[in-house]
Amino acid sequence: MPTILGQNQYGKAENRVVKIVRDGDTHHIKDLNVSVALSGDMDDVHYSGSNANVLPTDTTKNTVFAFAKEHGIESAEQFGIHLARHFVSSQEPIHRARIRIEEYAWERIATSDANSKFIGADEVQHSFARKGMETRVSQITYDGENWEIISGLKDLTVMNSTNSEFWGYVKDKYTTLKEAYDRILATDVSARWRYNWTSDEQPMPNWEKSYEQARKHMLHAFAETYSLSLQQTLYQMGSRIINSRSEIDEIRFSLPNNHHFLVDLEPFGLKNDHEVYFAADRPYGLIEATVLRDGVEPKIPVDMTNL
């Protein structure tokens, strides 16, 4: 049967670039994992093998490293914007560029005095340890006219040790779960939010401040919500961000319910007054939803793993 070519893209994935800015004795690190995907007039390379319109993936890799030097890395979003604009504007066959970025955080190593006492205020200005927190993510897409910026984070582990309940749910003959009026609520937050900045004619957001504030509002909502369900907490987290950050129109969460079950200690003659839990890693409940500014159409894919 005759066949035709469908949607396609190509590029260089997972370019690990580390940029160090030396401000005298004080150094600053940006540590990124950058993936480039390009699409456009690529029929010939698929049908006949002609590479006339193909910018080599090795060139895209080199561009990532060159731009880290030429433009610096102010933020993951800004760096992705520089790259996407370059590929679309400098190569006529390329009509669309998608840049996906993961950013890994580092913190300075605190020093000790001669008596080996920890000095919280003193830090070695060129020594760092990888933070054991979340990974920041960004996807920057540009078609020569319009931008789409989706940012977020993954693997942010949070827990409330109280102020969470789960009861009043549907029960059938297979239901064995006991209602809980004081439980641990824990999850690994994966979140993506979409900015309403789409054109160079609009004022560009402060990407670093926006990320920090979105993360802050998310965590505050998680901590301050007396939760009757993880769904309720999710909605409060998204609403807090939308209501507090005018540059964000949509946020999608994927929240596994990291179950903690009270251990039965009665066989040992012990009372377990919400003190000892078994942390089950699987199976787990998975709660996913999008929170939108009123009147906005959703655009973030339901399956966020492809971002």
Q: Which tokens go with 6? A: 């469908």
166 is in an annotated binding site: yes
pLDDT at site 126: 66
Q: Give catalytic status of residue 225 as yes or no.
A: no
pLDDT tier, 122 (very low <50, low <70, confident <90, very high otherwise): low
Residue of 178, 183, 180 lying closest to 161 (CA atoms): 183
Q: Which of 28, 57, 135, 260 is catalytic?
A: 57
Within the chain, all domains assigned CATH 3.10.270.10 are found at 1-145, 151-307
In DSSP terms, 28 is beta-bridged to 21
233 is in an annotated binding site: no
Q: Which tokens go with 197? A: 């900045």
**Per-residue pLDDT tens for 158-203?**
999 999 999 999 999 999 899 999 999 999 999 999 999 999 999 9
Architecture of domain 151-307: Roll (3.10)
Task: Kindly tell me if the per-residue pLDDT of 130 is higher than 80.
Answer: no
**Per-residue pLDDT tens for 30-41?**
999 999 999 999
Q: Which of 30, 154, 217, 259 is catalytic?
A: 259
In DSSP terms, 22 is beta-bridged to 27
pLDDT at site 1: 64
Q: Give catalytic status of residue 12 as yes or no.
A: yes
Give the three-state DSSP class for 239: helix
Output phi, psi for 10, to 5 deg: -150, 165
Is-contact 139 193, C-beta < 8 A? Answer: no
Q: How far is CA 6 from CA 12, 41, 249, in A?
A: 20, 12, 31
Q: Give catalytic status of residue 260 as yes or no.
A: no
Task: Kindly tell me if the per-residue pLDDT of 22 is higher than 90.
Answer: no
Task: Kindly tell me if the per-residue pLDDT of 118 is higher than 50.
Answer: no
Determine whether domain 1-145 maps to CATH 3.30.70.1350.
no
pLDDT tier, 228 (very low <50, low <70, confident <90, very high otherwise): very high
215 is in an annotated binding site: no
44 Cβ contact list (under 8 Å, min separation 6): 50, 52, 53
Radius of gyration of the chain from its Cα atoms, rounded to whole angstroms: 24
CA dihedral 124, 129, 133, 138 (to 10 degrees): 90
Give the distance from CA 260 to its chain's centroid. Answer: 25
62 is in an annotated binding site: no
